[in-house]
Structure 1
Amino acid sequence: TIAGALVAAKSGLQIAHVEAGLRSFNRRMPEEINRIVTDSLSNILFAPTATAVNHLEREGVMGRIVLSGDVMLDSTMYYSNVARKTVDLTEVLGDIPEPFALATVHRAENTDDPERFRAILDAFKEVDMTIVFPVHPRTRNVISMGALSPNVMMIDPVGYLEMLRLVQGARYVLTDSGGLQKEAYWLGTPCITLRDETEWIETLSNRWNQLAGANRRRILACIDEIPSLDTSRPQFGMPMNRLASEVIAESLLPD
């Protein structure tokens, strides 16, 4: 993203940034710097939420801000139906464990920090159900097979439709992914985020997404809270009551 923005700016081209205004306020994350620089260079900024709009206005960006909604919601709602109809989990997992949790861990802050990574795996050992764990290449490079407990089912990375189907079938999700937090929320699957902050604060509504970091006790405490969650989930991602892709396409058309 940042490479394209820099080349376009130096070439005198117009820049439109989709998912503008996201902030974790953690500048140790490579994405955070990329987002700030790209937003500062963009001519039109498509913000997925009102929170993102507020960030951009506070920073005083020069481009035109459009509250577009979230293109990922467009995709999730459409392809979750496709996944439900076309993906057979037995082809992904073999015998489907019931119930199961879904886990992904790939961020450098977790995989490159032995203490954090060990704490996450130690928490997994104490979970009282099977954890389906599609393993990112970054994670596979550092994982020790001896560190995985018998309840962890390590599988190869899966495609988009398969992942949506796994989220639909899971009792809850454990992840350090930004996108998976949203998909879990929209699909009604509780999420525990293995990070200390999130760009998607809307997912924290009614504790459907809980921030646990890499703290073993906190991860397990969040799991224990899941049965008592409020069943309501305020929706977000479609503030204009229209598909974000439609809003973006119309905004890019010449007057």
Structure 2
Amino acid sequence: MLKILNIVGARPNFMKVAPLHRAFEQHPEIESKIVHTGQHFDAKMSDVFFEQLQMPKPHYFLGVGGGSHTEVTARTMIEFEKVILAEQPDLVLVVGDVNATLACTLVAIKLHIPVAHVEAGLRSGDRKMPEELNRILTDSVSDFLFITEQSGIDNLRHEGVPAEKVFFVGNVMIDSLVHYLEKAKQTPVLTELGLAKDEFVVMTMHRPANVDTAEGLGAILTIIENTVPHKKVVFPIHPRTANNLKNVGLWEKIQAIEGLVLTEPQGYLEFLQLMQNASVIVTDSGGIQEETTFLKVPCLTFRDSTERPVTVELGTNQLLADLNPQTVHQKLMEILSGKAKQGIVPPLWDGKTSERIAQILVDKLA
């Protein structure tokens, strides 16, 4: 029996582990268990995803909670070590680039447990991003590196990683999207928010570089004010962003913008329904770049670099280096006037990545 511990920490991890756990359960030789570190501890950011993605209740909930990067990483390592010693797994599987990814990798490797990293090899080139450091360090010690796009192969080769550790399998995030696309269409979110297809723009903003300064928050407000005369703006607001708006005295102002639909964080199915019906997505997220590329919905990403370059090279994503309202307005008007960038779906983004990963692990370890 091949015992695998799958790590979920923050919101994007759930959509990646759900299809993997489902694929593992199709193999009688695999025992798959889920460890939730609790990095996202808000029910709206966590529990709803387990319910909607039909994941079983986590076998372990570490209850790490929030705090600084150091605090979260340290608490996760301490609690996860107890799980490993109790379970004695054959493999620890981590996804993405959150603090839980690195923390659990370090614990496993030091206890001589092999690690598989899903979404390996992605690089933004910006080492000031905590996620970039998490990616680099996790990849440097993992035994199985599962790649979503060609840049991952190129980056790992450049870093001297042995080719036999690297497997180009596709994108598990797209597995979830394909699996739940029809179910998402049945959610009443459009009706509840008074929206119709192609009549609105979706915005998400949560990265510190964009929402931790009064200047950045002011630019976000201006972008919204410039957009609402043309399209409604739907803004599921991240708790960090909401708190910062309140702290700098802009909360009342943003609430007063006519044509802005301000909501709490949406469930996975609801947000998927919003994305596939939007005219354009305005974001600073990583995963949304991939989902919009698959859905062929235009995406403007407020980053000066991306660890997912295939979304720009082949997909519908465009990078904007800063929150310049004038530049954003120009780009939005181009898209809304029918001049949106046309994209294609990248290789192996077919909804079957988890099955490929499960088969590789069975072949190599079972």
Going from structure 1 to structure 2, the CA distance change for 1:242 and 1:159 (only over 3 Å counts) comes to closer
Query: Aligned AA for 2:203?
Result: A
- Answer yes or no: is the 8 Å Cα contact 1:116–1:215 preserved in 2: no
Residue in 2 aligned with 1:214? 323
Aligned residues: 251
Query: Aligned AA for 1:145?
Result: W
**Which one of 132, 147, 151 corresponds to residue 32 of structure 1?**
132
**Which one of 37, 56, 71 corresponds to residue 172 of structure 2?**
71
Going from structure 1 to structure 2, the CA distance change for 1:252 and 1:125 (only over 3 Å counts) comes to same
Residue in 1 aligned with 2:344? 234
Query: Mapping of 1:180-199 within 5 angstroms?
Result: 180-199=288-307
Residue in 2 aligned with 1:141? 243
Offset, 1:131: 0.3
Going from structure 1 to structure 2, the CA distance change for 1:207 and 1:48 (only over 3 Å counts) comes to closer
**Which one of 102, 109, 112 corresponds to residue 212 of structure 2?**
112
Other structure's SS at 1:133 match: strand
Residue in 2 aligned with 1:130? 232
Report the more deviating stretch, 30-39 or 184-193.
Answer: 184-193
Q: 1: distance between equivalents of 2:145 and 2:353?
A: 13
Q: 2: distance between equivalents of 1:124 and 1:137?
A: 18
Q: 2: distance between equivalents of 1:105 and 1:39?
A: 27
Query: Aligned AA for 1:174?
Result: V
**Which one of 193, 199, 223 corresponds to residue 332 of structure 2?**
223
- Answer yes or no: is the 8 Å Cα contact 2:314–2:345 preserved in 1: no
- Answer yes or no: is the 8 Å Cα contact 2:180–2:269 preserved in 1: yes
- Answer yes or no: is the 8 Å Cα contact 2:116–2:142 preserved in 1: yes
Offset, 1:187: 1.0
Is the counterpart of residue 200 in structure 1 residue 308 in structure 2? Answer: yes
Offset, 1:254: 3.8
Q: 1: distance between equivalents of 2:260 and 2:196?
A: 11
Residue in 1 aligned with 2:195? 96
- Answer yes or no: is the 8 Å Cα contact 2:172–2:351 preserved in 1: no
Q: 1: distance between equivalents of 2:307 and 2:151?
A: 10
Identity %: 38
Q: 2: distance between equivalents of 1:92 and 1:175?
A: 23
Other structure's SS at 1:253 match: helix
Going from structure 1 to structure 2, the CA distance change for 1:69 and 1:206 (only over 3 Å counts) comes to closer
Other structure's SS at 1:196 match: coil
Q: 1: distance between equivalents of 2:192 and 2:273?
A: 10
Query: Aligned AA for 1:50?
Result: Q
Other structure's SS at 2:120 match: coil
Going from structure 1 to structure 2, the CA distance change for 1:100 and 1:44 (only over 3 Å counts) comes to same
Query: Aligned AA for 1:141?
Result: N
Deviations 1:99-126 (A, max 9, x none): 1111110111111132222212211110
- Answer yes or no: is the 8 Å Cα contact 2:119–2:147 preserved in 1: yes
Give the TM-score of the pair, scaled to structure 1.
0.92
Query: Mapping of 1:150-169 within 5 angstroms?
Result: 150-169=258-277
Query: Aligned AA for 1:74?
Result: D
Other structure's SS at 1:24 match: coil
Other structure's SS at 1:60 match: coil
Q: 2: distance between equivalents of 1:181 and 1:90?
A: 22
Offset, 1:242: 7.2
Give the TM-score of the pair, scaled to structure 2.
0.65
Q: 1: distance between equivalents of 2:196 and 2:179?
A: 27
Query: Aligned AA for 1:225?
Result: E
Q: 2: distance between equivalents of 1:97 and 1:64?
A: 47
Deviations 1:190-240 (A, max 9, x none): 111122221121222477211123121221121122121354x2211517x
Q: 2: distance between equivalents of 1:134 and 1:77?
A: 22
Q: Give ranges in structure 2 of 5+ residues lacking alignment.
A: 1-100
Q: Give ranges in structure 1 of 5+ residues lacking alignment.
A: none
Q: 2: distance between equivalents of 1:104 and 1:230?
A: 20
Deviations 1:120-156 (A, max 9, x none): 2211110121100001111110112244222221111
